[in-house]
Amino acid sequence: MASCLFVVIVVLLISSAHAQPTCATQKFTNKEQYDRCVDLPQLGCYLHWSLDTARNTVAIVFIAPPATPDGWVSWAINPTGEGMVGSQSLIAYTAANGSMVVNTYNVSSYGGVVKGKLDFDVMDMKAEHSDGVMRIFATVELPENGRTKVNQVWQVGGAVTEEGVPVRHAFGQGNLGSKGILDLLSGEISGGGSGNSKTKKRNVSICLYGRCINELEPRGGFRPLLWVLGNLFGLEKMGKISENLV
């Protein structure tokens, strides 16, 4: 009876996870696995990251659909405020020769961006474009040593000039709401125009035989169930159950 109950529960979890794809289903050409990921609340974007507190760096993958095929995508940290102005940005776009380009920009005003070195180091930058989305890969030095909460800003635009300058993005609700606070350590996010900055979600990953099921659900949802399963069926021998805040 217990075995049947276990099978039913796992099937339900798999069905639920497949009903609403999340960042946990995404794979990368570099085959890297990142510790945490989140579906950002605006513009259909995603962020994956691994925090290295010893080195004060974070390795990220930002995924976004550009506003047009010839557009650009951007992910940024703002060391001085919560909005776009002052943000230190990574911007990717397709060059005239068809290759992907990713550069660093300072956003000094709403009038434009300035290509140049950021206030913090950025390593291992590269970009990809396939399946309608662009991906930015980078390792970013955190602006303040020991501080794991950052003001993040993400954006998409529709065009790039011949000189490689991103053209101003639209000012729709999604564009204006694409900012917030990200806790790299816990995975909690706030802002993003969600209407309730206190809402936090939990990314529950169930890994059995090397395959992971992922489900985004409210805080506390599956924790009691997973604890019971782990104790009843000794899941530590079959794989692992892990919960990561996103």
Binning pLDDT at 50, 70 and 90, where does residue 111 land? Answer: low
Binning pLDDT at 50, 70 and 90, where does residue 59 land? Answer: very high
From the list 205, 206, 201, 207, the residue with the least C-alpha distance to 186 is: 201
Binning pLDDT at 50, 70 and 90, where does residue 158 land? Answer: very high
Range 70-98 average pLDDT: 91
Pairing label, strands 179-183, 149-157: antiparallel
Q: What is the per-residue pLDDT for 196?
A: 31
Q: Tell me what percent of the residues of the chain surpass a pLDDT of 90.
A: 42
Q: What is the per-residue pLDDT for 172?
A: 87
How far apart, in Å, are the Cα atoms of 22 and each of 16, 77, 156?
11, 23, 20
Binning pLDDT at 50, 70 and 90, where does residue 110 land? Answer: low
The pTM for the full model equals 0.72
Cβ proximity of 158 and 70 under 8 Å:
yes
